[in-house]
Amino acid sequence: MGRNQLYILLALLSAAALGWLGYSFAFTTFSTANDFSPCLFKSTTGLPCPACGSTRSLMTLLQGHWQEALFWNPLGFLLFAFLLIVPIWILRDLFVRSDSLFRFYTLTEKTLQKRVVSIPLIALLVANWIWNIVKNN
Amino acid sequence: MEANKVDMFILANGKFFESHQLQMIRERLLSLDDSKWAVIQTLQFKDPTTSIIVSILAGSLGIDRFMIGDTGLGIGKLLTCGGLGIWALVDWFLIMDATREKNLAKLQTMLY
């Protein structure tokens, strides 16, 4: 994947995420029974996926309740950092004609592929998923 | 490299690459030094059929992307429930060619 493709993909992802966040602020009631879930995994299997709850996490985080955000899904913090940094980084790279984000992405990918990094992260994700299922997110 | 060795390689590994690239691979291999043969023979490629099966079963968790080495995209799929299902669906159609491209990239590190 080239630089431009990555930037288009990341920009689309950020835009979609912000749009979805805006929609959620208008309609989410924080009850699993009433809310519309866009997650295909959840609607087909009935079990929450590893990322289920991150919308609620982001919303509570933006309202300042970080403990509640941690409860809904700790991955929300990661997404918050992503949404805060990536759009600005893309704009910066476009203006100064740099590819620093692309190089950072490739470097991160290489790091994550190392066994010492990937195995603990996978364990954490699985633990988070089990927690997600137990609390029925 | 000798033509029969190259043909043997193409015969054994042709399914791992896109068909329109096979001619280019053949020509590159023919012009390659014989000493590289041992290394090229031991290269392990990812099977596109395996990746489509993984994509159908666990695509919404991004496992298919992790498997072929697109770690960044895998995380993207994992953290968005497979792009709300849409990305996972699109990847059913993209993942086989993506696998073949990854295989070519792997071979190319040996060719040049």
Spatial contact of B15 and B71, defined as CB atoms under 8 Å apart: no
Contact A40 B61 (CB under 8 A): no
Chain A residues closer than 8 Å to B85 by CB? 38-41
Confidence of residue A34 (pLDDT cuts 50, 70, 90): low
Q: What is the DSSP string of chain B?
A: --HHHHHHHHHHHGGGS-HHHHHHHHHHHHTS-GGGHHHHHT-----HHHHHHHHHHHGGGTHHHHHHT-HHHHHHHHHTHHHHTHHHHHHHHHHHHHHHHHHHHHHHHHH-
d(CA A116, CA A112): 9
Of A17, A38, A50, the CB nearest to B78: A50
Q: Where are the alpha helices (DSSP H) in A1-137?
A: 3-27, 40-45, 54-62, 66-72, 75-96, 100-112, 115-134
Contact A108 B82 (CB under 8 A): no
pLDDT at A24 over 70: yes
DSSP A50: T
**Among all residues of chain B, which has the CA nearest to that of A55?**
B80
Name the nearest CA neighbour of A77 among A96, A62, A92.
Answer: A62
- Tens digit of each residue's pLDDT (9 = 90 or more) over A86-134: 999 999 999 999 889 999 999 998 898 888 998 999 999 999 999 988 8
Smallest CA–CA separation between A51 and chain B, in Å? 5
This complex has an ipTM of 0.74
d(CA B34, CA B26): 14
Confidence of residue A32 (pLDDT cuts 50, 70, 90): low
Rg (CA), chain A: 17
Q: Would an 8 Å CB–CB cutoff place A79 in contact with chain B?
A: yes
Residues 53-92 of B with CB under 8 A from A: 60-61, 69-73, 75-76, 78-85, 88
User: And the tokens for A45?
Assistant: 């299997």
Q: Would an 8 Å CB–CB cutoff place A122 in contact with chain B?
A: no
**Among all residues of chain B, which has the CA nearest to that of A110?**
B71
DSSP A36: -
d(CA B52, CA B99): 9
Residues 16-35 of B with CB under 8 A from A: none
